[in-house]
Structure formats: C-alpha cells, structure tokens
C-alpha cells in the first residue's frame, strides 16, 4: 500500500512541477524526485519479493496504509525543511528585519 501511495504522491508532485515549470521556485522538482526515487525502489522491492515468495503484490491492510501515509508525510517534511532553509521567497529575511 505504501508503494501505491508513494506513486500517487509522485504523480501529484510531478503535475505540480509541470504546472509551475520552467520556474521551480517552490522546488516541486525535488519533491517529485524524492517520491519517484522511493517509488522505483519499492517497485523493484515488490517485484523481487513477488517473484521470489509469490506472496501478495500489494499489501492492503491498516499497517501498510499507515506506513504509506507516514512516508508521504515524511517526504513532504523533508521537502518543507529544504524549502524553509533555501527560503526562495526571502520570507525569513523580511521577518527578521522587522
């Protein structure tokens, strides 16, 4: 389930990047890369696990769903930290000058 939720997040982040492109003020490209990197890795993980163990391809249960939302939130958190540190709008400068 976390694979599906991350893939969905990757698609949404890519759409947001494309809407704003070629400008990338809010670093949506970074958010896309974070989610796509994880999506590719989990795709390989799922395919390998499925071919080796023949188990369920998508784990659909509460634990897997909670993990899915957690990783999506974590990706957002990392992106937000980078955004705050780089401060493309110069908000910190303006706030601290007051």
Partner 1 sequence: MACFLVPTGEALVTTVIQKIAKKKEEKAGGERTGNTSTKWSQRLGWLNKLLWGGVIMLCLEHIWHGEVVPWPPFLTAMDTPGDVKPMVHEIVTFGIPMAISVTVVWAIMVVFVELRAKATKDVPEVKAQTVDGGV
Q: Give the nearer residue to partner 1 in terms of CB position, either 37 or 87.
A: 37
Q: Give the nearer residue to partner 1 in terms of CB position, either 48 or 89.
A: 48
What residue ranges bind partner 1 (CB under 8 A)?
A: 2, 6, 29-30, 33-38, 40-45, 48, 52, 67, 70-71, 74-75, 78
22: its two tokens: 């070629």
Q: Give the nearer residue to partner 1 in terms of CB position, either 61 or 70.
A: 70
77, 9 Cβ separation under 8 angstroms: no
DSSP 57: S
Three-state secondary structure call for residue 58: coil
């Amino acid at each position: 389930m976390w694979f599906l939720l991350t893939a969905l997040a990757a698609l949404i982040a890519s759409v947001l990047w494309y809407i704003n492109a070629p400008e990338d003020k809010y670093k949506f490209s970074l958010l896309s890369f974070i989610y796509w990197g994880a999506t590719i890795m989990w795709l390989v993980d799922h395919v390998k696990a499925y071919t080796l163990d023949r188990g369920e391809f998508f784990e659909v249960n509460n634990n897997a769903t909670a993990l899915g939302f957690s990783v999506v939130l974590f990706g957002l958190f990392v992106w937000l930290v980078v955004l705050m540190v780089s401060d493309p709008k110069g908000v910190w400068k303006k706030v601290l000058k007051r």
